[in-house]
Amino acid sequence: MTAIEIKKENAAIAKEYKELLSISYRRLTATDKKLIRKAFDIAVDGHKNQRRKSGEAYVFHPIAVAKIVAAKIGLDATSIASALLHDVVEDSPDYDIEDIEKIFGQTVARIVNGLTKISSLKKDKDISLQAENFRKMLLTLNDDVRVIIIKIADRLHNMQTIYSLREDKQLKIASETLYIYAPLAHKIGLYNIKSELEDLALKYTEPDIYNSILLKMKESSDEQAKYIKKISEILEGVLKKEKIKYNIKGRPKSIFSIRRKMQRQGVSFDEVYDKFAVRIIYKSSLKNEKFIAWKIYSIVTDFFRPNPTRLRDWISAPKSTGYEALHITVMGPQGRWVEVQIRSERMNEIAEKGYAAHYKYKEGDSNNDETLDSWITKLQEIMDNPAGSAIDFVEEFKLNLYAKEIFVFTPNGDLKSLPKQATPLDFAFSIHTEIGLKTRGAKVNGKLVPLNHKLHSGDQVSIITSENAKPTANWLDYATTGRARSKIKSSLKDDKKSIAEDGKEILRRKLKQIKINLDERSINELVSYFNLQTSLDLFYRIGIGSIDNGMLKKYAASRSNVLVSFFKNKITRKKNVDPETINNDEITSKYDMLVFGKEQEKLNYKLSICCNPIPGDKVFGFLTIKDGIKVHKKTCTNALSLQSNYAYRIIDAKWIDSSQQVFKAVIKLTGIDQKGMVSDITKLISGNMSINIRSIKFDTDSGTFNGEIAIEVNNNNFVTKLMNRIKKINGIEKVSRV
């Protein structure tokens, strides 16, 4: 760089620093500013020889993270300083954690050390780096929750500047963000950051969909502003008459949430009716907050008819994240449903900045935040059994993050929050692990209920325990919360190991009687012969008696055939073909429609049954351990997890020819039942378009129908064309592909 460029860059860095001080949500004291200045100087020095992929000086990154921490989350000076220093120990040879502690003290050092530990895990091709990082990140809760909050801010800035990376890196980081960081931000209560992370991630995982929704939202923004103004004008007079100080503004739903509604409801953008919400934010003392909220509710529903099934009272019973508000859906002007959110200024601050930032670390505030502490305790309880795989751990954690909440009562009248669809087993484990493990039965509102009974808000639940009771495999079908499922799995695993140990010795004796040694070779043969996954499965089945003497004798009698089968299976797993297709000369592949990688190679593969891709769908290959390459649609429900946790196993895939083969696709229909409807549909499909129908099913109910049609097509263009034509048939309401 030239002297002029260096001078210009230094001026830009100084400007960013000044802006950091000016935008801080908290009022910074002289001592605070001194601390932040010291951290800034160390960050500049520690990163002086580093540059980002975009070419800019690396120090812009920690400053940007500190700005997010200061302005968007509202953390204290200690957190701002820690954010500035978060990469120094990892990236600079001039500073270690002892240096940070000498200069800044124990608290900053503890936070920086936690952030450094998260980043220091070495990559192992057999594990998910991000899942392990996630588990490690949560373990730092014992040190300081600010570690996680700063890490989320770090990820947000990385997503904001991801454009400078290679496309495969963009996809990997965006997938990780949707898989781990956005749910974590949601759980902490950082809703604005969660939405921004989701939108940015969607921009890189599904760019066409993101840009399409973005364009439509921009086109409708003027109309939306006029609509909100109209509502405001209607309410203005009465709210002022009641001397309520308030502000009304519109909040467009995030692109990601609109996309999710389109997917879940099987509707187009235009059919999503609540693309924005009206937010009424009012001034109030803490004492009068609830009274004024319900007063505003009364005024709004005097003018606009409410939907009684869409009232959400998170003031009387706040969400587990600390979120408080009244949400109502009303029939607004022009016959449109619109969501109205009623919040005090304090509630709005919690929603926008996050519960942890405003209550746990507010300088001079002696308030002991029980909600945050209980949340941290719950996370720590989930980690009681760290021996499980990191992926399982992440899935269990994510299981209930977005679930709607219900509130039930204990026998003593205490209120417990559980996810919707929770059962008595979930309730039992939420009280205490031992109560869950010893559950024998449950009563809801005084009546005995099965363990898979779905709880509802207002239920009073009591658990019947017994010292002889213990979890069974069926319990996994009954439990819904991550905590309950992880405890049940752990208990079952311990039981299985114990039985398997006995089973191994039983197998050794039984094989000895038929002149076979128990060794690696015989174990592998037996696992293959009985179509099992692992030796543990084999020993367990011997232990419980599901593999008996007769079955072992049959194995011994056909042992020579088993050897052939075993080696065929090994070849099959490597080449990914059906054993029946193996002959002495070659292994044939059923499919030749896809090419893989930059070289566009033809490789053996299987189409994944979880998403049933057909030619024309956007797809990718995933290299499995046992089954070769599996092909998934990019919109597959498993795509996010695979791309996030196993990016090194993802292979680019592309359809090159679809003229020689037919594929199955399933179309779902709903509409008004009328005479000749089925005939019209089948005539269109098999007659006009010459598409073969494999199966058809229609159910009618009180004048409406639901139908599913399985068809054979060459590629997805046929499916799209067919769906568009079916939509034009009179009486059809919705058409979607399953």
SS3 per-residue string spanning 514-578: CCCCCCHHHHHHHHHHCCCCCHHHHHHHHHHCCCCHHHHHHHHHCHHHHHHHHHHHHHHHHHCCC
Work out whether the CA dihedral 389, 395, 401, 407 comes out positive or negative. Answer: negative
Could you give phi then psi for residue 591, rounded to 5 degrees? -115, 150
Any idea which residue has 């089948």 for tokens?
682
pLDDT value for 45: 92
Q: Which of 106-120, 285-299, 304-318, 383-397 has the lowest mean pLDDT?
A: 383-397
Question: What string of DSSP letters covers 152-214?
Answer: HHHHHHHHHTGGGS-HHHHHHHHHHIIIIIHHHHHHHT-HHHHHHHHHHHHHHHSHHHHHHHH
85 pLDDT tier (thresholds 50, 70, 90): very high
Over residues 671-705, the pLDDT tens digits come to 888 888 888 888 888 776 767 888 888 888 777 88
| Cα separation, 711 vs 724, whole angstroms | 15
| Cα separation, 194 vs 187, whole angstroms | 9
Burial class of 75 by CB neighbour count within 10 A (0 to 12, 13 to 18, 19+): buried
Q: Which of 180-194, 284-298, 394-408, 459-473 has the lowest mean pLDDT?
A: 394-408
Number of neighbouring beta carbons within 10 Å of residue 715: 20
| Cα separation, 430 vs 423, whole angstroms | 11
380 pLDDT tier (thresholds 50, 70, 90): low
Task: Indicate if the pLDDT at residue 178 is higher than 50.
Answer: yes
* b/e map 142-171, b = 16+ CB within 10 Å: eebbbbbbbbbbbbbbbbebbeebeeeebb
Q: What rounded mean pLDDT belongs to the chain? A: 81
Q: Which residue has the higher pLDDT, 702 or 584?
A: 702
- Helix, strand, coil % over all residues of the chain, rounded to 5: 55, 15, 30
Q: Which residue has the higher pLDDT, 585 or 152?
A: 152
Paired sense of beta strands 439-444 and 447-449, if any: antiparallel
Over residues 425-451, the pLDDT tens digits come to 999 998 888 999 999 999 998 889 999
Over residues 327-350, the pLDDT tens digits come to 999 998 888 888 999 999 988 888
Mean pLDDT of 532-558: 83
- Contact status, residue 123 vs residue 82, Cβ threshold 8 Å: no
Say which amino acid occupies 345. E
pLDDT value for 139: 63
pLDDT value for 131: 64
| Cα separation, 157 vs 337, whole angstroms | 36
Mean pLDDT of 709-724: 80
For residue 370, give both structure tokens: 């029980």
CA distance to 219, 243, 319, 326, 641, per residue, from 292 (Å): 36, 11, 20, 11, 44
- Contact status, residue 683 vs residue 622, Cβ threshold 8 Å: no
pLDDT value for 333: 87
- Contact status, residue 685 vs residue 666, Cβ threshold 8 Å: no
Percentage of residues in the chain having pLDDT higher than 70: 83
pLDDT value for 400: 56
Task: Indicate if the pLDDT at residue 292 is higher than 90.
Answer: yes
Question: What string of DSSP letters covers 309-350?
Answer: GG-EETTTS--TT----EEEEEE-GGG-EEEEEEEEHHHHHH
Burial class of 324 by CB neighbour count within 10 A (0 to 12, 13 to 18, 19+): buried
Over residues 20-48, the pLDDT tens digits come to 999 887 778 899 999 999 999 999 999 99
| Cα separation, 324 vs 343, whole angstroms | 7
Residues 6+ apart with CB under 8 A from 424: 439, 442, 444, 449, 451, 453, 455, 461, 463
Please indicate, yes or no, whether the overall pTM of this predicted structure exceeds 0.85. Answer: no
- The separation between CA 73 and the C-alpha centre of its own chain, rounded to angstroms, equals 22
Q: Which of 33-47, 230-244, 302-316, 548-562 has the lowest mean pLDDT?
A: 548-562
pLDDT value for 549: 84
- The separation between CA 45 and the C-alpha centre of its own chain, rounded to angstroms, equals 38
Number of neighbouring beta carbons within 10 Å of residue 733: 11
Mean pLDDT of 528-550: 83
Over residues 243-269, the pLDDT tens digits come to 999 999 888 889 999 998 888 888 888
Domains and CATH numbers, the chain: 3-190 (1.10.3210.10), 217-353 (3.30.460.10), 594-655 (no CATH), 663-737 (3.30.70.260)
Over residues 613-651, the pLDDT tens digits come to 888 788 999 988 777 889 998 888 888 888 877 877 888
Task: Indicate if the pLDDT at residue 590 is higher than 60.
Answer: no
Mean pLDDT of 600-615: 82
* b/e map 342-375, b = 16+ CB within 10 Å: bbbeebbbbbbbbbbbbbbbeeeeeeebebbeeb
CA distance to 373, 409, 420, 451, 495, per residue, from 413 (Å): 21, 5, 20, 21, 35
| Cα separation, 312 vs 326, whole angstroms | 6
Task: Indicate if the pLDDT at residue 575 is higher than 80.
Answer: no
Paired sense of beta strands 326-331 and 312-313, if any: antiparallel
Task: Indicate if the pLDDT at residue 369 is higher than 60.
Answer: no
pLDDT value for 379: 52
* b/e map 212-224, b = 16+ CB within 10 Å: ebeebbeebeeee
Over residues 206-244, the pLDDT tens digits come to 999 999 999 998 888 888 888 888 998 999 889 989 999
- Contact status, residue 79 vs residue 104, Cβ threshold 8 Å: no
Mean pLDDT of 499-503: 86
Residues counted in the chain = 738
Task: Indicate if the pLDDT at residue 311 is higher than 70.
Answer: yes
